[in-house]
Amino acid sequence: MARSAAPDMKTSSPSTIVTANDVTKVYQRGSEPGRLARVLGRSEPPTVSAVDSASLDISNEEIVGLAGPSGSGKSTLLHILAGLERPTEGSVLFQETDLATLSKRNRTRHRLKHIGIIFQQFHLLDSLSARANVALPLVELGIGKQQRRRQATELLERVGLGDRITHRPGELSGGEQQRVAIARALITDPDLVVADEPTGELDTDTGRTILQAFKEVAENRAVVLASHDHETLEICDRLIQLRDGTVTNRLKQESSSDEDS
Partner 1 sequence: MMFKWLSDSLLRLRTAGSLTIAQFRQQKLRLLLAIIGVALAVLAITLLAGTGIGVLETGEQQFNAAERDLWVTAGETRITSAGGGGFENTLYDSRNLSTEMESQEGVSHAIPLAFDTVYAGTNSSGEFNTFIATGTPQGGPAIHVTDGDSIQGDPHYANGTYEGEMTNKVLIDEETANELDVGIGDTIHIGGSLAAARGNEFTIVGISPTFEQMLGTPTVTMPLSELHEVTGNTQTEPATFITITVEDGSSVDTVQQDLEESYPEYEIRSNQEQLSSVLQEQVLLLAAAGVLVFLAISAGVALTMSLLSLVIHQQRQTFAALTAQGISSSLLIATVVGQGLIIGILGGGAGVLLTPPAVAVLNRLAATIVGFDGLVQTAPWIYAGALGIAVVIGTIAAATAGWKISRVPPLELLH
Query: Using the rule CB under 8 A, is 117 a contact of partner 1?
Result: yes
Question: How far is residue 164's CA from residue 157's CA, in Å, rounded to a whole number?
Answer: 9
Query: Using the rule CB under 8 A, is 111 a contact of partner 1?
Result: yes
Angle at 230 (CA atoms; ends 225, 232), nearest 5 degrees: 40
Query: Using the rule CB under 8 A, is 74 a contact of partner 1?
Result: no
- Report the SS3 class of residue 3: coil
State the binding string over 133-172 for partner 1 (x if CB under 8 A, else -).
---xx-xx-x-x-----------------------x----
Neighbours of 223 (CB within 10 A): 27
Query: Using the rule CB under 8 A, is 106 a contact of partner 1?
Result: no
Contact yes or no for 23/51 (Cβ under 8 A): yes
Question: How far is residue 27's CA from residue 42's CA, in Å, rounded to a whole number?
Answer: 18
DSSP state of 99: G
- Report the SS3 class of residue 37: helix
Question: How far is residue 22's CA from residue 247's CA, in Å, rounded to a whole number?
Answer: 11
DSSP state of 257: E
Among 28, 108, 173, 212, binds partner 1 (CB under 8 A): 108
DSSP state of 42: P
Provide, rounded to whole angstroms, the least separation between the CB of residue 204 and partner 1: 25
Contact yes or no for 216/56 (Cβ under 8 A): no
Stretch touching partner 1 by CB under 8 A, among 28-36, 109-117, 207-215, 248-256: 109-117
Closer of 74 and 238 to partner 1 (Cβ)? 74
Among 74, 131, 179, 184, binds partner 1 (CB under 8 A): 184
Closer of 9 and 200 to partner 1 (Cβ)? 200
Provide, rounded to whole angstroms, the least separation between the CB of residue 139 and partner 1: 4
Alpha-carbon distance values, 208 to 165, 179, 199, 244 (Å): 22, 12, 8, 29
Query: Using the rule CB under 8 A, is 127 a contact of partner 1?
Result: yes
Closer of 80 and 161 to partner 1 (Cβ)? 80
Among 77, 185, 192, 240, binds partner 1 (CB under 8 A): 185
Query: Using the rule CB under 8 A, is 115 a contact of partner 1?
Result: yes
Binding site for partner 1 (CB under 8 A): 79, 82, 84-85, 105, 108-113, 115-117, 119, 123-128, 132, 136-137, 139-140, 142, 144, 168, 184-185, 188
